Amino acid sequence: MSAPAKRKNDPEGLKKRILASALVTFAEFGLQGARMEQIADNALTTKRMVVYHFSNKEQLYVEVLHHVYQQIRAHETGLNLAEMSPGEAIARLAEASFDFHISHPDFMRLICSENLMRGRYISRSASIRQLNQSALEVLDAVLARGKASGEFDSSVTTVDVHRLISSICFHNVSNRYTFNSLFGSPEDESQSLARNRRLVVDATLRYLHPLSR
């Protein structure tokens, strides 16, 4: 009878499992309510190994935040907006941002949790702040082309346009249940999502149009 195969040592795979488990746990329970034992169990490892790779719960939380923003920013930089006209690029960026928010609700819940703590951990992380500069760089390149061609209002700022896109996309996830309970809608979920997806594009393009300001 052959001996059982030994489990392959895969530290990078283990770290990915821990991060994935931590994301779900922090999104559900917040930093204070999350337990390292639960994170370890869901990652099919031990608390000792979680501590070995990430030192403590706060450091793991910061690493998860970094991972979340890294995924968001990588999604934006991979859109190849330079190949599109300024208007098409803004529409694509807004649609992609909306779709990403919808498909990653745990990311948004984690960011909500960090806001409830008044940005305590993001404010301490220079690497997370630096990472997020790409959001403005990607958008600024599109706006510069649109302003030069006269398609966009020359007075708009990159931060304000980013705020506009982000606010509609984020609201659609973070306020989904309360907003629908308070105001209702005759539409089904797919219709509502399609309408809100059009809204973020239309609102952004109208804001950028020279004659709308």
Terminal-residue alpha carbon distance, the chain: 79
Phi and psi based region of residue 143 (left: phi greater than 0; alpha: psi -120 to 50; beta: remaining): alpha
Q: Are 73 and 131 in contact (CB under 8 A)?
A: yes
In the structure, what pLDDT confidence band is assigned to residue 4 with cuts at 50, 70 and 90? very low
d(CA 213, CA 210): 6
In the structure, what pLDDT confidence band is assigned to residue 47 with cuts at 50, 70 and 90? very high
Residue 174: burial class (beta carbons within 10 Å; 0-12, 13-18, 19+): middle
Tokens of 104: 């990653």
Q: Helices 86-103 & 133-149, crossing angle to 10 degrees?
A: 150
Q: What is the CATH number of domain 64-212?
A: 1.10.357.10
Tens digit of each residue's pLDDT (9 = 90 or more) over 150-189: 999 999 999 999 999 999 999 999 998 898 889 988 888 8
* Residue spans per domain, the chain: 11-55, 64-212
pLDDT, position 1: 44
- CATH number (1.10.10.60, 1.10.1200.10, 3.40.228.10, 3.10.129.10) of 11-55 reads 1.10.10.60
pLDDT, position 110: 95
Residue 84: burial class (beta carbons within 10 Å; 0-12, 13-18, 19+): middle
pTM: 0.88
pLDDT, position 82: 95
Q: Is the pLDDT of residue 88 over 60?
A: yes
